[in-house]
Amino acid sequence: MMSHMLEIKNLSVGYARKGLALENVSLSVPKGSIVALLGANGAGKTTLIRAVTGLLPLHNGHVANGNIDFGGAQIVGVAPHRLVRMGMGQVPEGRLIFKQLSVEDNLAVGAAILPRSAVRERMDAVYALFPRLLERRKQSAGWLSGGEQQMLALGRALVGGPRLLLVDELSLGLAPLIVQAIYKQLIVVGQTLGTSMLIVEQNARIALEFASSAYILERGQITLSGSSEEVRNSPIMRDAYLGAARKSSVTETTQP
């Protein structure tokens, strides 16, 4: 019986004339769980998402080595539109909603893979998760607040009923209270729909609060993995996310 919705083994990814951006990366997303992938800018997080979603060729990238298993199928080289039909949803960094379209029309884009008979039910399910979208369903998406736009990007990905949801930098540019509210709704998604999730984040604190397990990616390699509690309490975590701040503080206090 399959225990993982996503399993990546020894993945190495390169870009034209730039060498390897990922080297021997392995991680897994158990069915129905939320997994956090943490790392600073340039660590390789977005490259990993591109590899999983089949978007590497659009960025002159390629898989140099390794395997990606999604729901029991090897997907290296599979086209993005096929992955969506296989049950993969994505919320890209920057949201990339269609700002000139209404909220409901944005959701309709995400629902394009569904049979007509299922569209209304799935849209209503998204509106139940994010009532603010229901209130603004006829409004142009470009007029939404940042938090509402993130809800719309999530709703557009969820309306198709994905088995796996990939979210890139969910908290970017959003107020902490909005981020907390959105993460709480993702917990509901996991509990009610059984959706597995890989959340790519720079905000380690919030991600570790909601994820069941986590990986730290540094310079294209996994340097730490384990339960959220194990990662939170590890020296590597403290050094990676707190070391610079401590060093700065010590320098300031010791200067004449």
Neighbours of 115 (CB within 10 A): 7
pLDDT above 70 covers a percentage of the chain that reads 92
The pLDDT of residue 251: 37
pLDDT exceeds 80 at position 252: no
What residues form DSSP beta bridges with 22? 13
What are the domain boundaries of the chain?
1-87+164-171+196-256
Element of type H or E holding 204: helix 204-210
Based on the number of CB atoms within 10 Å of its own CB, is 106 exposed (0-12), middle (13-18) or buried (19 or more)? buried
Tell me the per-residue pLDDT of 138-174, one tens digit each, with 9 for 90 and over.
989 888 888 888 888 888 989 888 999 998 887 777 7
Q: pLDDT-derived band of residue 240, with 50, 70 and 90 as boundaries? A: low
pLDDT exceeds 90 at position 215: yes
61-70 vs 73-74, strand pairing mode: antiparallel
The pLDDT of residue 86: 92
CA distance 131 to 64: 44
Q: Strands across the sheet with 164-168, in order?
A: 88-91, 164-168, 196-201, 34-38, 213-218, 221-227
The pLDDT of residue 95: 64
The mean per-residue pLDDT over the stretch 7-12 comes to 96
- Which of 81, 80, 77 has its CA nearest to residue 64? 77
pLDDT exceeds 50 at position 1: no
Give the single-character DSSP code of 61: E
pTM across the whole model:
0.85
Is CATH 3.40.50.1820 the classification given to domain 1-87+164-171+196-256?
A: no
